[in-house]
Every structure is written in C-alpha cells, then in structure tokens.
Amino acid sequence: MAVLKHIHCNKCFRIDPIKDTVYLLTSCGHILCQNCHDHSHAGRKREEHQRRTDPDYAQAQGQDNNNGPKEFCALCKKSCELIQLAENMDDLPENIQPFFRSVESLCNKAVSTWKFQEQNLTRLIDHLQSKTKRQYEVLVKARTELLNMKAVKVENQALKTENAQLKQQLQELQKHQQVGGNSRNGGGGGGGGGGGGQAPVTPVTPQMRVMHPPADRVQPPTTSRTHPRTSRGEPASTARVHEPSTDARVGGGETGKDPKRSSERDATSAHQSGTHLVGISPAIPHVTTPDIISSTK
C-alpha cells in the first residue's frame, strides 16, 4: 500500500514525492525533509568538537559523550527520535502505519471491526435473552405450582375441618341412637310385665264368619222387642226373612252374582268395621217362603 500523497515537510512545505525526497518523522509528530533536518544540525561538527574537548558542555546540553548529541526537532526544538518514511507502507512499523493510511480504509476497517464486535455482542445478547426467557418461564411455572399448592393446602385444611365436624356429628348420632335403644328396651320390659292383666283374645275359627252387607240392603233384625209374637213361639213361617233383591229394577244390583263371593266380601267389610256376628252361615241360599213352610212341617 502506497503512502499518502500529501506528505510534505512541515518546515519548508516541500511536497515532492517520497521517491524523490527523504522525509523524516519525529516522535513529536512532525515531518521534516532531509534538507531542513541537515540545516538545523549545521553546527553538529562544532558541537561534537566541543563535546569531545569539554565534557561539561556535553552534560549541559544533555548529550552523551559516547553516542554523540541526541536528535531534536527543527520545529519544536525538543529531543526526539527520527524514523525515515518509506515509499511502501508495509515497511513502516505497525504502530506507525495507521497514521499514513486513508480515512476510507480506516473507516472500512473500523466498520468491519464494529460489525465483528456487534455480531459477537448480538449473539451474546440473544443468548442472554433466551436464557432470561427460559428462567422467566421456570419462575412462572414455579409460581403457578406454588399457588396451586397453596390452594390445595387450603382445600385440604377445609376438608380436614369438615371431616372433623362429620366425625363429631356421627359420634353424637351414635350416642343418641344408643340412648334411644336403651330407653326402648326398658319400656318394652315394663310393658310386658303389665300386659299380664289383659284378657286373652279369642281366635276366630273357620266356622265363625263375618257378614256385613251394604247399609241400603240390610234390614234391622227381628227381636223380641219389635216382634213380640215371634218371641212367644209363633211359627217360623210368619217370620220375615231378609234376602237381597234379585230384581235389577229394585236397585239392588245383586242379580247374577255369586252369593258366596258376596258374603265373603261382606264379611271382610264387617271385620274391618269391627262388627263380629258369631254363628252366621258362610252363605245364605236363595229360598222362598213356601220352602220355609214346608221345612217346618
């Protein structure tokens, strides 16, 4: 890479190409041509002679007796070091090369450097963001699980309380049932002892029937008070026999029905109503008055 074209001497402003002129770069940052540098050092021989003959002079000027006088800048008159500029940039020291490169190349290098650094920084940021996102998801999941655990804990406590209440109610109910059973057992024993004075119940035999016909068909039985003649021994032919009407026009509605089945139904009705008639035949056959008279004869 070639050196910049605007290189010139900072003292005489000579702008000849480097290939035609020798340029020197001082450590203080000035560029001098060889002529200006030599002219500023015109009294070098005289100074060298004085340095050799008078050591005090050399020490006063800050010069070394062995190495001769140090270089100094023709502009600022300061001690410095000199480097000769070369036509090829690669021949210069690495720390000096950037000062003689174009701004464009330096900017391109800076941009490429910035891109490289930015890419690495972007990768790092992406990694950190992804890691942060994963950690946030873990925290959210842990928070959700913690809330669920708290809810389960509260529900468990409520269930324990309800279970304790139910156990207490069950114990009270069992105690109440035990007290009620003991009272019933005691009352049953006393009732059994007192029941000895009751009259025995007479069982109903098959020969004992109960007959209770409907009220609209039953006529009051003949007694000695209502029919005194019958009670004095009058013939049975004069007695009135009650029988259900067989004519449907009368309103009995018994025509065509089984007398036995009707008597059993009447017996059931009489038993339910509490009326017991002993010695009544299971069924009253359909008879007429001549049949009764003939039987008495």
User: Is pLDDT of 151 > 80?
Assistant: yes
User: Is pLDDT of 249 > 50?
Assistant: no
CA distances to 57, 66, 165, 182, 196 from 169, in Å = 122, 118, 6, 20, 42
Q: Rounded to an integer, what distance in angstroms lies between the CA atom of residue 94 and that of residue 232? A: 171
> Which pLDDT does position 201 carry in this prediction?
47
User: Is pLDDT of 293 > 80?
Assistant: no
> Which pLDDT does position 268 carry in this prediction?
56
CA distances to 26, 84, 93, 110 from 4, in Å = 17, 15, 16, 19
Top pLDDT among 163 and 35 is at: 163
What is the average per-residue pLDDT within 143-158? Answer: 95
C-beta of residue 61 within 8 angstroms of C-beta of residue 74:
no
What tokens appear for 111 in the block? 């941009």
In this structure, of 74-83, 154-163, 211-220, 277-286, the range with the lowest mean pLDDT score is 277-286
> Which pLDDT does position 250 carry in this prediction?
43
- What mean pLDDT, rounded, does the chain reach? 70
Each domain of the chain, given as residue ranges in start order, spans 23-101, 102-183, 207-235+247-292
Closest CA to 212 of 253, 281, 263, 258: 263
Q: Rounded to an integer, what distance in angstroms lies between the CA atom of residue 18 and that of residue 200? A: 158
User: Is pLDDT of 195 > 50?
Assistant: no
Q: Which of 88-102, 168-182, 196-210 has the highest mean pLDDT?
A: 168-182
> Which pLDDT does position 132 carry in this prediction?
96
**Residue range 158-188, pLDDT digits in tens:** 999 999 999 999 999 999 898 877 777 765 5
> Which pLDDT does position 117 carry in this prediction?
94
Label residue 246 by pLDDT band (50, 70, 90): very low
Q: Rounded to an integer, what distance in angstroms lies between the CA atom of residue 26 and that of residue 146? A: 73
C-beta of residue 11 within 8 angstroms of C-beta of residue 75:
yes
Residue 218: phi and psi, rounded to 5, are -90, 130
What is the average per-residue pLDDT within 239-266? Answer: 50
> Which pLDDT does position 193 carry in this prediction?
47
pLDDT > 70 in the chain, percent:
51
What tokens appear for 177 in the block? 């049932």
> Which pLDDT does position 262 carry in this prediction?
56
Label residue 128 by pLDDT band (50, 70, 90): very high
> Which pLDDT does position 149 carry in this prediction?
95
Q: Could you give the 3-state DSSP secondary structure of residue 18?
A: coil
C-beta of residue 227 within 8 angstroms of C-beta of residue 210:
no
Top pLDDT among 253 and 154 is at: 154
User: Is pLDDT of 232 > 90?
Assistant: no
What is the average per-residue pLDDT within 58-62? Answer: 54
Bridge partners, residue 64, by sequence: 68
